[in-house]
Amino acid sequence: MEVYRTLIYTRFTPWLHVLLWLAFFLMPLLFIDTESGRERFIFLGWFLQLLMMAYFYLNYLYLIPAFFLKKKILRFILLLLGGMMVVCFFNTVFVYVTFDFIPHHHQFDFWHSFNATIYPSIVIITLSIAVRLTSEWFKNERQKKEMEAEKLSSDLAFLKSQINPHFLFNILNNICSLARKKSDHTENAIIKLSQIMRYMLQDSKDEKVSLGKEVEYLESYIQLQQLRISDQVKISFTVEGDPESFFIEPLLLIPFVENAFKHGVSYHEPSVIEIRLALSSESLFFTVQNNIVKHKDETLEPGSGIGLKNVMRRLDLLYPEQHNITITDDGKLYLAELTLQFRK
């Protein structure tokens, strides 16, 4: 919304200046109640208006950016006062020179004419400062939004680049384990890995992908993991709704599943990993539940836990105030719940 307001203000700034000057030129006529007064204003006012315009843009284009915005306040005030004196002096001289030609003129009073110019000068100073500071505020807001958008893009690219090597590292470890056992599943695992790599290298470059592709990616990952784990690990993956009807940023769901396989697989006792994806017209509900298995030889390798931290950061950047993550850990079961509101 702020971006739209900034663009509207920038586009209509010239028209704002035109309206301000029309109001400045015509407003005095509304408060002059005599015909002779209007004639005098029209006869003398055009020169004062030109002086006011010159004084306005001197302040707007030079004095404010050169002194006020650079915190040189004292010099700014002195130059403003100096400019006001010059404007008052030239307008008074003009009135003096042309006074005899003014219809219904009265006796010329130098100080009265001089002082009468001070009030519109103060109005012009106030207007020029107000308009310039408003313009600066919109400019700063636009630059701020552009910087935020640029930072968002770079942060997302960085976070995605962290996820891919971390994920690849874990899968290669799995295949290495199968190869050491001389498993017949090694070839199938390599094929699954190639499918996963194709998704990571091609589709994940897009800003958004079909949720159906993300689901296929999860299924391939789960099948790859099933090749290395025992039959004691029960895995279920259910999808409710049509994922092909939705689009999502790639690699948002995999860290939750990867975390479940990393910490919820036991080779000595039964364990369960339950994955559920439920879709409605406006939201996504994704849950991953697993047993908490602590291996005696378990150590934290460098980069452990990068996946979940990154996906939470990505969600904060991509879906501010449009997502909720709930983590439940009672020492035996670990449950991660993600609710995501689709952006319209």
37-55 pLDDT per residue, tens: 556 666 566 677 788 888 8
Cα–Cα distance for residue pair 207/204, rounded to 1 Å: 8
Average pLDDT for 19-27? 72
CATH 3.30.565.10, the chain: domain bounds: 183-341
- Which alpha helices (DSSP H) does the chain contain, by range? 2-31, 35-58, 73-98, 110-180, 186-201, 211-226, 254-263, 306-318
Helix (H, G, I), strand (E, B) or coil at 23: helix
Are the C-beta atoms of residues 288 and 302 closer than 8 Å to each other? no
As a whole number of Å, the end-to-end CA separation of the chain is 14
- Higher pLDDT residue, 331 or 333? 333
Residue 302 to residue 201: CA distance in whole angstroms: 24
Question: Would you say residue 156 has pLDDT above 60?
Answer: no
Residue 303 has pLDDT above 50, yes or no: no
CB 334 within 8 A of CB 264: yes
The 10s digit of each residue's pLDDT in 208-255 is: 889 999 999 899 888 888 877 767 789 999 999 999 989 998 888 988
pLDDT for the residue 141: 80
d(CA 291, CA 331): 9
At residue 231, the 3 state secondary structure works out as: coil
Most distant CA pair in the chain: distance in Å?
115
pLDDT, one tens digit per residue, over 165-181 is 666 776 788 788 878 88
Query: For residue 241, what pLDDT is reported?
Result: 92
Q: Token digits for 264?
A: 């919820």
Q: Which of 22-36, 49-63, 105-119 has the highest mean pLDDT?
A: 49-63
pLDDT tops 60 at residue 163? no
Query: 148: which 2 tokens?
Result: 């935020």
Each residue of 252-293: pLDDT tens digit? Answer: 898 899 889 888 887 778 889 999 999 998 899 999 999 888
Which of these CATH numbers, 3.40.50.300, 3.40.50.2300, 3.30.565.10, 3.20.20.140, describes 183-341?
Answer: 3.30.565.10
